[in-house]
Amino acid sequence: MTKHQNKIEKLIAELCPEGVEFKELEEVCKSITSGGTPLTSKSDYYGGDIPWARTQEVDWCNIYDTDLKITKSGLDSSSARVIPINCVIVAMYGATVAKVAINKIPLSTNQACCNLEINDTVADYKYVYYWLNKKYENLKSLGRGSQSNINSKIVKAFKIPIPPLPIQKEIVKILDTFTELESELESELESRKKQYEYYRDKLLTFKEREN
């Protein structure tokens, strides 16, 4: 990690020797919106072709598809709106409160999601994602009730350090590399587990001797 740290430290010394400014999330976004839920009693509002994400799908991940789809009439009847790709979606309540995800397709969300469309002249969306990942416990602690529910006001006011974009992009590049390695290790571990289970079952399976 030292090599990467040295590169980041060199960039900081070069580009922001006086330190890094902290901004509220609202200041680094083009827009911040929440979604909506079409009436569940209206069957013609569901089963369409518009992806509709709920908070249980916001779980440290990229979203390429959603469990449910809504129709155009369902979208128009509610406060749900289609957001562009690469928004940072924050779960505001439910089991995944304060967790984040990135939508890799245009989609709509329910009202429990806070959707951050990042201003790319100020911040890299993946940098914002990684920062919120790191600050998960801090953001969640600002919530209310037994499930620590948060709201869009809390999300908008949450502060994030904003170094110059070249530093943000270098941080993202490093963290992406480690994320890929972690994914490969998990895949390898899963493969080894299956291999172990196969040989365990083979080695411990015996034919009973007839009397």
Please give the tally of structural domains in the chain: 2
Give pLDDT tens digits along the chain (211 positions): 555 557 777 777 777 777 788 999 999 999 999 999 999 999 999 999 999 999 999 999 999 999 999 999 999 999 999 999 999 999 999 999 999 999 999 999 999 999 999 999 999 999 999 999 999 999 999 998 877 899 999 999 999 999 889 988 988 888 888 877 777 777 777 888 787 677 667 665 645 556 5
- Output the six-digit token pair for 131: 């920062």
Q: Has residue 211 been placed in a domain?
A: no
Q: Indicate whether 126 and 86 sit together in one domain.
A: yes
Q: Identify the domain containing residue 73 by its residue range.
A: 22-162
Q: Indicate whether 55 and 143 sit together in one domain.
A: yes
Q: Has residue 210 been placed in a domain?
A: no
Task: State the Cα–Cα distance between residues 53 and 49, nearest whole angstrom.
Answer: 13
Q: Has residue 16 been placed in a domain?
A: yes
- Strands ordered across the beta sheet of 29-34: 29-34, 113-118, 88-91, 100-103, 61-63
CATH number for the domain harbouring residue 158: 3.90.220.20
Q: Indicate whether 60 and 118 sit together in one domain.
A: yes
Task: State the Cα–Cα distance between residues 96 and 11, nearest whole angstrom.
Answer: 35
pTM of the model: 0.83
pLDDT of 199 = 60
Residue owning tokens 């590049």: 173
